[in-house]
Every structure is written in C-alpha cells, then in structure tokens.
Amino acid sequence: MRETDSRKNTGPLSRAVLEGEKGTVKKHWGGRISVAVVFPSYYRVGMSNLGFQAVYALLNKRDDVVAERAFLPEDQETSLRLRAGKGLFTLESQSPLRDFDIVAFSISFENDYPNILTILESGKIPILQEERNESCPIVMGGGITTFLNPEPLAMFFDLFLLGEAEANLEQFIDGFKEARAAGADRKETLEGLDSAIPSVYVPSLYHVEYNGDGTIRSRSPLRPDGQAKKIITCPRSSLPSVNRSCILTKNTEFSDTVLVELGRGCGRSCRFCAAGYVYRPPRTHGKERLVECVDDALKESGRLGLLSASVLDTPGISDVFRDIIEKGGSFSVSSLRAELLTEEILECLKAAGQKSIAIAPEAGSERLRKVINKHLTDEQIINSVRLMARVREFSLKLYFLIGLPSETRDDVEEILSLVKVIKHHMVRESKGRGTIGRIRLSVNCFVPKAFTPFQWFPMEGVSTLKEKQKWLKRSVEKEGGMTVSFDVARWAYLQALLSAGDRRVGSILMLGHQYRGDWSMAFRHSEINPDFFVLRSRGLDEVLPWDFIDHGIRKEYLAREYMLALKEKESDICSVGNCDKCGVCRPRQV
C-alpha cells in the first residue's frame, strides 16, 4: 500500500489520454484496497465496453477501494517502459500491476484469452497460478466468458467471480477486506472467499479426473471442508440503476458517445445465443427510468448509444427515441428484430441521423430458422425491408451464421436467394428516389456455447466452412450491388476450443503464448488434441466442463430444446414469471 498522486506520475502519452477523458476517477492509495481493472485488449476497445466501465464505476463508488485501468500494450510509451523492464502499468497513476492487491480481468471474448497471458507477463506477474507467492496480487477474472466456462483459464487465475458484478462485487470486496484485516495469507484468503461467497470459484481447490476416452469422470474438492461446491451465480430479479458510460473519450470505437443499457438478456430463446440464457430472466428498465437517464446523459454528450440484446422489446422505446430527438440529441442502436420494426420506429431512426440498420436473419432458410428457434419468417423479413426502403434509403446490414447444426448446402444457397429477394424489394420500393442504400452481409461461423441447447453440437470443420465462404463470396459478388464479409474460420476454431474446452486446454493456450501466436505450432506440439473439444458431438449424459456452475437453468430444459432443434420445431419465447420451463424463475437457494 502506498500513497500515489496520479497527476505527477503519468507520462506524456498517458497524460494526453487522461486529459481527453471526462469522468476519470483519481484517488490516493492510502488505506484503500487497490484494484487494477484490466481489459485484455486495446484501450479503444476496452473503453467501448460498457461492462468494463461498469466494474470500474462500481469499485470506485466505494471509499475503501481505489480502482485503476490497464489494457493490452500498444503505444510507444508503454513499449519503452516494457523494454526497460519496468512492467505494465495502469493508466491513472502508472503504477505497476504487480503493486496492486487485486488484478481483476474483465473478459468478454474468448479470442482475448491469449492477451491475458501477454498482460500477466508484461506486468511481471507469474503466468501460472501455482507459481505466485505472497508478494503477488490476487489475479481474478469476471465477465460473460468466465461464467459460461472458466476452465480453459483455470491454471492462470487465482479465482473467478461468476455472474453479474452488480449482484456480487460488493460481497466479494467485503470478504477480501475482512481476510486482509484478519491477517490471512494468500491461501487462507482464497479458501475463505471460496467458502463464504457462492459465486466465487477457486480452480485450485478442485481436482478433475478423466475417463479413458478423454471425457470428464469426476470433480473432487480439495477444499479444507472436503465438500463439493456448486458455483451459484447470484439470482437476479431486476436491474439496479441504469448502467451507462462513466467515462467519455474520443479515443474509442464509440467516440464521445454515452452508452446506455436499455435492458439485459433476451427472451427470444435463440438456441445458439449464450447471452439469451445466462442473462435470464430478461430484464428491462421502465420508460420513466430510461428517460431520466437519457436526460442526464444528454448533458454530457449529444450522442447516445442504446444497447440491448433486443432493443425493440424495451417497453416505451418509441417514447425514449422521441425524447432524445426532441432534446436535440442523436442516438444509434445495435441489431434490431426485423418483425418489430414499424414506420414510427424507422422515422425516429431517420430523425436521429441513423443511416444504417442491422437485422439478423441468421439463416437463409425458414427450415434452419426453426432449428435455431429464430421465430422469423421470410415474409416478416421482406415486409420490414420494404418498410425501411419506403421511409428512407437506409443501408442494410444482414447478419448470417454458417455451419449451424443440420445445415445443408441448400440452406447456404438460401442465403443468396433471400438477399436477392431483399435487394429486389429495396429497388422496387426506392424507385421514386432513384437510389437505394447499400446492402452488406456479415457472415460468421457458428461456435457452440455453454449453457445453450447447442452446447452438445460440434463446430463444423474449417475446410468446409472455407468452402462455404468462398462460394458465398463468389456468388454475392456475381450478383452485384452487395458486399459480404466473413470472420476467419481458423479463429472461429480457436474460439470454439476456448469456449468448449476443459482445463486441459490451458496447456494449449500456454503453448500458443510461448510460440507467440503461432497456433499451428501450438496444436502440433500439444499432447491434447484440440479437435476433441471442437469437432466432437457430445452425449446428453456427458459431464460437461461447466456443469458445476448453476445459472438456474435446468440441463433437462436445454436437452429438450436440443431435441426440438433436431425435429426442426420452434418453442415459445420466454414468458417471465409465467412459466417454469427453464427453471430460472423458480426460487433458488444461495
């Protein structure tokens, strides 16, 4: 613990970044728990992440905590310091990561996992958990990927705090503070937090055994009480105050835009979407609360970014849109449900200056949309496109997935057929203007995710995905008037490995770090075959790496949805409080 004046310690580049921010929190360290909140990517990406900003704000609301930020190194000043052997440091005071009590990673994307190892090494913190001693900070992880499946990171983290930060961060800090006041050493602190807080997971307190075929046989507790523990993410019935950006800066992907969370979760029950399951029940803020937040946000910036998994499911969203426009502000929204678009909504988007609209058919055929439980027909898509084209020449972005379970070549060809029909209707409805908006396709590879009905399916092979990408690219370019972009199939493979792997995958991640991102070399030298986790179907009775986590969702419910997918049948969307199908709305013991 030490006293720090962040204004004196910042270098010229860091000072320039800080001076370009509004809302930065600067505290002295004296007597406070010091937490380095780390986003495992670059500053411009991390500061565009509302969850990362929320954790920073929650920690700094406490007078007994000082929280500072760190990111993946990218600027010249950082590089010079690292070459000088000084170690990675935080932005606010340029304090080395190793000087903090806690180094807390906020992790949103599996493909950022390699950056975690880079940051630990740059911060002069032992990468492996077992090599840390009393002089090292506690390295903890949180964020959606960790409460889907933390096991591939188990060998690198001291603990994980699973679930939404608003529900469990206060309890965690109180527990850490008590342990420190009692003089607990590192081992005692971890054991105490694991015992006292249901959502804390300490991987080193559990041993995993495997069957001869490589599947998991059992998880044995190594805790002092010898008891197995189900990691329970905190039950959540409502959202606290509206979550919005606490720091504004030009140096982000959303320059000087206040991000506002309209709601959390989605009840549409798409079977591939992890956020639609682990953020259950879906929750939205009331119109009055949102309007109040929007009014406050407009005092800081005239530009708002409205975030939700399903923006148009927000009660009173048209009134919120109109309130922003009437007060002279503008806003942008993410992907919209095609069947919920109305002329009123589109007129609001036009008045807000939004020139592009994104919708997500996900699949080209109605058959495959039934498999994924999309609840969206060709007719609904076409009607929404015609309506858009009548209101203005919006550019249209269409999101699709390839490699979905049961997908055939006909389903892929249906993507082209659908976008050709979309283009035809946009041209016809825009005849009076003589121009139409651009049509862009964004096509990604399906990656199975934990806690979804598709967790038992394999990912399609990279070579097959590449063939589909090549055919689509050639066909779309031949059609003309449209563009298409793809993710990289081999990176999707890596994401699937890190999404569906168990703790043995940590050794492959370590090899990838040692070979400086040469994953071909890492896979070649690994004793573990990555295809086992990526390309293999799982039995419904198999013990999955993440089965020890309780989000309130019954595994039997996910299995039923899996079977309905095989039968090409849709199920009802989520009806909060009115059913007990998935189990989330039933009372839980914590």
The tens digit of pLDDT for each residue in 174-186 reads 999 999 999 999 9
CB 266 within 8 A of CB 310: yes
| Contact predicate 550/586, CB 8 Å | no
Q: Across residues 304-308, what is the average pLDDT?
A: 95
Q: How confident is the model at residue 576 (pLDDT cuts 50, 70, 90)?
A: confident
* pLDDT (tens digit per residue) in 69-102: 999 988 666 676 676 777 899 999 999 999 999 9
- pLDDT band, residue 5 (cuts 50/70/90): very low
Helix (H) or strand (E) holding 318: helix 317-326
Paired tokens of 199: 């959502």
Tell me the pLDDT band of 321, cut-offs 50, 70 and 90: very high
Strands (E), 337-389: 356-362
* The pLDDT of residue 224: 83
The pLDDT of residue 318 is above 90: yes
For residues 157 and 254, what is the distance between their CA atoms, to the nearest angstrom?
31
> Over the range 61-76, which residues count as b (16 or more CB within 10 Å of their CB) and which as e?
ebeebbbbbbbbbebe
Higher pLDDT: 75 or 223? It is 223
What confidence score (pLDDT) does residue 10 get?
55
Model confidence pLDDT, tens digit, residues 224-258 = 888 878 898 876 667 888 999 999 998 887 888 99
Query: 3-class DSSP state for residue 155?
Result: coil
Surface-to-core class of residue 318, CB atoms within 10 Å of its CB (0-12 exposed, 13-18 middle, 19+ buried): middle
Give 150's contacts (C-beta < 8 A, 6+ positions apart): 141, 157, 160, 162, 201, 203, 546
Q: Which residues have CB under 8 Å from 290's CB, separation 6+? A: 242, 260, 262, 314, 316, 320
The pLDDT of 573-588, averaged and rounded, is: 83
For position 77, what pLDDT does the model report?
62
pLDDT of res. 249: 92
**pLDDT score recorded for residue 11:** 59
| Residue 413 CB neighbours (<10 A) | 16
**More confident call, 493 vs 5:** 493
Helix (H) or strand (E) holding 307, with range, is: strand 303-307
Q: Which residues does 459 contact at the CB level (< 8 Å), separation at least 6?
A: 403, 445, 446, 447, 448, 492, 493, 496, 534, 535
Cβ contacts of 66 within 8 Å, gap of 6 or more = 27, 28, 29, 32, 33, 34, 35, 60
Q: Using one digit for the tens of pLDDT, what is the confidence trace for 516-546?
A: 999 999 999 999 999 999 999 999 999 999 9
Q: What is the DSSP string of 104-127?
A: EEE---GGGHHHHHHHHHHTT--S
Q: What is the enclosing helix (H) or strand (E) of 564?
A: helix 555-566
What amino acid occupies position 536?
Answer: R
Share of the chain above pLDDT 70, in %: 95
Say which residue, 289 or 239, is predicted with more confidence: 289
Tell me the average pLDDT across 351-368: 95
pLDDT digits (tens, 9 = 90+) for 37-57: 999 999 999 999 999 999 999
Distance between CA atoms of residues 497 and 357, nearest Å? 32
Read out DSSP for 492-543?
A: HHHHHHHHH--TTHHHHHHHHHHTTT-HHHHHHH-SS-THHHHS----TTSP
pLDDT higher than threshold 70 for residue 549: yes
At 100-147, the pLDDT tens digits run: 999 999 999 999 999 999 999 999 999 999 999 999 999 999 999 999
pLDDT of residue 235: 66
β-bridge partners, 138 = 102
Residue 188 pLDDT more than 70? yes
Give the Cα separation of 215 and 564 in Å (integer). 25
Mean pLDDT across the chain, nearest whole number?
93
3-state secondary structure of 257: coil
> Cα(259)–Cα(248) distance, rounded to whole angstroms?
9
The CATH 3.80.30.20 domain(s) of the chain lie at: 248-500+552-566
CA distances from 80 to 11, 36, 83, 88, 375 (A): 11, 21, 5, 11, 53
- The fraction of the chain above a pLDDT of 90, given in percent, is 83
Predicted model pTM? 0.95
Domain covering 248-500+552-566 assigned CATH 3.80.30.20 in the classification: yes
Q: Are 576 and 281 in contact (CB under 8 A)?
A: yes
Give the three-state DSSP class for 151.
helix
Q: How far apart are CA 456 and CA 538, in angstroms?
A: 5
Q: Do residues 259 and 65 make contact, with C-beta atoms less than 8 angstroms apart? A: no
Strand partners, 39: 71
Please, where in the chain does CATH 3.40.50.2300 lie? 6-232
CATH superfamily of 6-232: Response regulator (3.40.50.2300)
**pLDDT above 50 for 7:** no
